[in-house]
Amino acid sequence: MDTFFNAIRSSGLRRGPRRLLGGVLAGLAAKANVDVAFVRIGFLLLCLLPGPAVLAYLAAWILIPNQDGRIILEDVLRRRSLGRGPSDPQGPKGPAV
């Protein structure tokens, strides 16, 4: 599983710092070197057409790394493999000292 997430990180795509929701469109705009307004307008036009635009956005949000390289899906899977849910007071690293 680590090779999958490392491959995503090595793509150079990051969720952008100029985010309104999840930063996916800002990250795509930064990677394509275009103004984020154009990408947002294009996405809104895609949402008007019948299709899975919103589902694609959500999938990108959980798969594209944040600015610090953190991937949401990877965090969720690691918590599950450690047997700790998001509401566990010990968190992913154990009890607070």
Give pLDDT tens digits for 48-91. 887 788 888 888 989 999 888 899 999 999 888 887 655 555 55
d(CA 37, CA 59): 21
How many separate domains does the chain show?
Answer: 1
With respect to residue 33, please indicate whether it lies within any of the assigned structural domains: yes
- Residue numbers of the domain that contains 44: 2-81
With respect to residue 56, please indicate whether it lies within any of the assigned structural domains: yes
Question: What's the pTM value of the predicted model, to 2 decimals?
Answer: 0.61
Dihedral pair phi/psi, residue 58, rounded to 5°:
-65, -40
pLDDT for residue 24? 87
pLDDT for residue 50? 74
With 50 as the cut, is the pLDDT of residue 97 above it? no
Q: What is the pLDDT of residues 19-51, one digit of tens each?
A: 777 888 888 888 889 999 999 999 898 888 877
* 3-state helix vs strand vs coil in the chain, percent to 5: 55, 0, 45
3-state SS class at 52:
coil
Higher pLDDT among residues 17 and 78, named by residue: 78
